[in-house]
Amino acid sequence: MPDGNSRSTLVSTDQADAGTGVDWERRARRLEALCGFAAEAAGTVDADEIWRLLCGRLVAVLGADAAALHTPLLPESRAWSSADGADGRAVGRLAEEDGAQARRAALPGGGAALVVPLEHGGETLGTLAVGWEDAARAESDEAVIGMLARQTAGALASARAYARLTEAAFRRERFFSAMSHDLRTPITAIVGYSELLADGIVGELNGQQLEMIERISQVSGHLSQLVNDILDLAKLDAGRMEFHREPVTLGALVDEALVTVEPQARSKKLELRTDVDPHRETMLNVDGARVRQILVNLLSNAVKFTEQGEVAVVAGGDDGRTWLEVRDTGPGLPAGSEEAVFEEFLQIAAGTKSKREPGSGLGLAISRRLARAMGGDLTARSGAGNGAAFTLVLPAAGG
C-alpha cells in the first residue's frame, strides 16, 4: 500500500510505462478527479456529503464496483455496491474491521478489495474499503486510493471540528439562556422593591436612605444590562439572532436614543447636539429596536468617557447607504486601538485615564455584530486628545 511517498510511486510508475502504450488520458483524468474531490470536499462540513462526493470519484475514475466507509463521525457505516451481490456486503464488513493498517483482501467470486485507514494528524478517523470484481484493478489503483483516503480523512477532520464548534455554541447559548432567565427574576424583584421603598410605600425615607435606594437601582440596572448583553452575544454566536426589518425614519431613531441618555449627559453638564436635520425623513429598512440599541450603546459610551464639552450625532449618506456618527470631546482612543475596542470583554483605557469605567466590555462588540448582521458596519476613529468618533453605516430602504 502507498505511504507518504505516493507521488514518487506514481512518477516512477509513469516513467516505467513510458513508451509502452500507457493510457495518459486516463491518468490525466485521475489527477483531475483527485484535485476536484479535494476542492469539493473542502467546501462541505457534512460527513454524508463527503461520502457522496467520494463515491462519485470512485465510480467515475476508478471503476470501483463497491465501497464502504466506517467512521465514528457517522451514526452508522456507509456502503455502496454496483449490484446486490456478495461483494458489496463483503466490502462493508471489511470497512468495519480493524483498519489500522492498509491491506489488500480477497472478495468472494474472485474479486479484491483495498482497505485503507483514514489518517489525519496522527489520528485514525475511520476506514475506507474499495472493491473490484477484477482483482487486478485493486493493485493498479492502489496509489490513487491512498491519495483519496488522505483527502477524505482531511475532509472528515474538518467536519468533526465544525460539529464540535456547533455543539459548543449550542451548549453556550443554552447555558446563557438558562442563566439569564434565572438572574432576571431576582433582578426584577430588587428593582421592584427599590421602587416601592423610594415611593414611600412603607414610610417616608430620609435623604441618605433615598440615596442608597438610588444606588441599588443603578447597580440593578447595570446587572440587568449585563444579562441582556450576554444573552445577545450567545444568540449572535449561534446565528439565532432574529431581525424584524421595517421602514423607519432616521430622525425618529436618533430622537429615541437621545432621550435615553439625556439624564446621564445632564448630570455631567454635557451638551447633546444633533446634526441630522437634512436626513430626518430618510427611510431605513432595518430593525428599529436593534438600531436604537446600537445608538444608545454609542451615546452612553461617549457620555461616560467625556468629562466636558459635547456629544454629537451627525448623519450623512452616500452610495445608497446612510451613516450616523457619534462624536465626543473626550480623550479619544489610544493609537492603534480602533479595532481592539470591538473585542469582547475588553475595555480600552481612554487617554491618560487609568480608572476602569463601569461596564462589561460587550456593548461595542455586540453593536458591531448587530450592524453587520443587518448589512451595515460599525467603525471607530480617534485623534489623540480630540475625542472619539464611531460611525454606524446602515442600508437604505431598499437594502
Distance separating alpha carbons of residues 142 and 155, to the nearest angstrom: 20
Angle at 83 (CA atoms; ends 82, 84), nearest 5 degrees? 135
What is the structure's pLDDT at 358? 55
H or E element at residue 306: none
Q: Are strands 321-328 and 377-382 parallel, antiparallel or unpaired?
A: unpaired
In this prediction, residue 6 carries a pLDDT of: 36
Comma-separated ranges of CATH 1.10.287 domains in the chain: 169-238
Taking residue 304's Cβ as centre, other Cβ atoms within 10 Å add up to: 19
Q: Which amino acid is at 280?
A: R
What number does CATH give the domain 6-164?
A: 3.30.450.40
CATH 3.30.450.40 in the chain, residues?
6-164
State the DSSP H helix or E strand holding residue 315, giving kind and residue range, or none if neither. Answer: strand 310-318
Start-end of CATH 3.30.565.10 domains in the chain? 246-395
Please state which CATH class domain 169-238 belongs to.
mainly alpha
Q: 3-state DSSP call for residue 171?
A: helix
Burial, 240: exposed, middle or buried (Cβ in 10 Å; 0-12, 13-18, 19+)? exposed
Q: Is 226 left (phi over 0), alpha (psi -120 to 50) or beta?
A: alpha
pLDDT along the chain (399 residues), means of 10: 36 43 69 80 88 83 85 87 69 82 85 90 90 78 82 91 86 77 84 90 89 88 83 79 90 93 93 91 90 94 92 88 93 87 74 52 90 92 79 74
Contact assessment for residue 90 and residue 107, using Cβ atoms and an 8 Å cutoff: yes
**Which superfamily does CATH assign the domain made up of 246-395 to?**
Histidine kinase-like ATPase, C-terminal domain (3.30.565.10)
pTM of structure:
0.60
Least Cα distance to 58 among 89, 82, 39, 77 occurs for 82
Q: DSSP for 215-252? A: HHHHHHHHHHHHHHHHHHHHHHHHT------EEEEHHH
Three-state secondary structure string covering 121-169: CCEEEEEEEEEECCHHHHHHCHHHHHHHHHHHHHHHHHHHHHHHHHHHH
pLDDT value at position 9? 35
**Is 117 in a helix, a strand, or coil?**
strand
